[in-house]
């Protein structure tokens, strides 16, 4: 996750004469680090060298059902609490949730980002070896084989040998995809932090193209279509061999407590923004057997019922990781989810 801030400076050590800011995280272990040991690193977290970064808040694995990780990545970036340049920070919150579904062989990635200012551009980034396939591309700079292109599509296909990866954007709904790469754009960076004018630098000096390096010549950048201080990114990654899988996910319609969701051909996933108790309504256009609710209070009692009351409510207890799974329901239509 990149957050661009105009004027941000990144110069890892005195060998870097140029600013190499790319919108990413603080460099907590720069080239030429004087950190002598793991103990030394632990002793300096939160003080002195400020070596703290991401913090894993939840991890849970249920064999054959799901693997879930929630992490707070805020401290890995320049924040109001600590900014290595003393400019007041660029993010107030960066949170990531990963939900892997082994039965579907699918990974859901949800990021919630709150920038210090609305005009700090956010980019969800994925490096690729070859050029991703994206429909409706239009050139912003250069040409299709060597440049920066943009599309309103919500889908990209990545191929590397026999391997395929479908990248589908669920949120933000107004986002665009940029495809960046080629000889003159492989290491292209908007070092001034201003994305309004594409006047960046291709930092290819010293790069090695030896055949044993799996070099990412291209990248996808998914960014909101309008400036906002806060955005939620929700991506569905679907791997395959020999040919891409055609199964496409869809946004899940939610009302009530804030959150976001994904509907696949096999299940529904509901991500809650806040664990505080409440009520949420969801609409399932087709019969769905499995519904997973993520972000609940640990061990909370959860009720799921049809809005019409035509069927008895189902109840589950959330896991220690705050996940509740409703199986064998085959429910559709308007449902009500409640938890204390």
Three-state secondary structure string covering the chain: CEECCCCCCCCCCCCCCCCCCCCCCCCCCCCCCCCCCHHHHHHCCCCCCCCCCCEEEEEEEECCCEEEEEEECHHHCCCCCCCCCCCCCCEEEEEEEEEEECCCCEEEEEEEEEECCCCCCEEEEEEECCCCECCCCEEEEEECCEEEEEECCCEEEEEECCEEEEEEEEECCCCEEEEEECCCCCCEECCCCCCCCCCCEECCCCCCCCCCCCCCCEEEEEECCCCCCEEEEEEEEEEEECCCCCCCCEECEEEECCEEEEECCCEEEEEECCCCCEEEEEEEEEEECEEEEECCCCCCEEEEEECCCCCCCEEEECCCCCEEEECCCCEEEEEEEEEC
pLDDT for the residue 93? 97
Query: How far apart are alpha carbons 302 and 265 in whole angstroms?
Result: 24
Q: What are phi and psi of 42, to 5 degrees?
A: -60, -40
Task: Return the pLDDT at 7.
Answer: 82
Residue 135 has a pLDDT of 97
- The structural domains of the chain, with segments of one domain joined by +, span 2-245, 249-340
The class that CATH gives domain 2-245 is mainly beta
pLDDT tens sequence for the chain (340 residues): 999 998 887 766 666 677 777 888 887 766 556 778 888 888 877 776 677 788 999 999 999 999 999 999 999 999 998 888 778 899 999 999 999 999 999 999 999 999 999 999 999 999 999 999 999 999 999 999 999 999 999 999 999 999 999 999 999 999 999 999 999 999 898 888 888 888 888 877 767 777 777 677 899 999 999 999 999 999 999 999 999 998 789 999 888 778 999 999 999 999 999 888 888 999 988 888 899 999 999 999 999 998 887 778 899 999 999 999 998 767 778 899 999 8
Q: Report residue 40: phi and psi, to 5°.
A: -60, -40
User: Cα-atom radius of gyration of the chain, to the nearest Å?
Assistant: 22
- pTM, full prediction: 0.92
Question: 249-340 — its CATH code?
Answer: 2.60.40.2750
pLDDT at 179: 98
């Amino acid at each position: 996750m990149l957050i661009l801030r105009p004027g941000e400076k990144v110069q890892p050590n005195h060998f870097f004469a140029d600013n190499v800011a790319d919108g990413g995280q603080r460099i907590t272990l720069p080239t030429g680090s004087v950190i002598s040991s793991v103990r030394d690193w632990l002793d300096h977290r939160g003080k002195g060298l400020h070596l703290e970064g991401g913090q894993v808040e939840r991890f849970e694995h249920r064999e054959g059902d799901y693997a879930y990780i929630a992490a707070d990545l805020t401290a890995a970036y320049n924040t109001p609490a600590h900014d290595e340049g003393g400019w007041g920070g660029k993010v107030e919150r960066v949170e990531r949730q990963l939900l892997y579904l082994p039965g579907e062989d699918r990974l859901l990635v949800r990021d919630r980002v709150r920038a210090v200012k609305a005009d700090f551009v956010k980019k969800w980034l994925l490096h690729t070896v070859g050029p991703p396939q994206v429909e409706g591309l239009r050139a912003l700079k250069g040409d299709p084989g060597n440049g920066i292109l943009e599309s309103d599509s919500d889908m990209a296909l990545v191929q590397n040998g026999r391997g395929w990866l479908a990248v589908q954007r669920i949120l933000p709904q107004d986002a665009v995809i940029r495809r960046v790469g080629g000889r003159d754009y492989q290491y292209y960076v908007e070092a001034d932090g201003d994305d309004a004018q594409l006047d960046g630098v291709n930092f290819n000096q010293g790069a090695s193209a030896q055949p044993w390096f799996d070099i990412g010549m291209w990248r996808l950048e998914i960014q909101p279509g309008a400036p906002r201080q806060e955005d939620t990114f929700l991506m569905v990654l679907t791997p395959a061999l020999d040919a891409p899988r055609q199964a496409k996910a869809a946004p899940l319609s939610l009302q009530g407590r804030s959150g976001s969701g994904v509907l696949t051909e096999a299940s529904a996933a509901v991500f809650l923004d806040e664990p505080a108790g409440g009520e949420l309504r969801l609409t399932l256009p087709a019969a769905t057997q499995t519904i997973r609710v993520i972000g609940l209070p640990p061990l909370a009692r959860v009720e799921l019922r049809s809005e019409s009351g035509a069927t008895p409510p189902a109840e589950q207890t959330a896991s220690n990781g705050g996940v509740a799974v409703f199986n064998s329901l085959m429910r559709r239509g308007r449902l009500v989810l409640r938890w204390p």
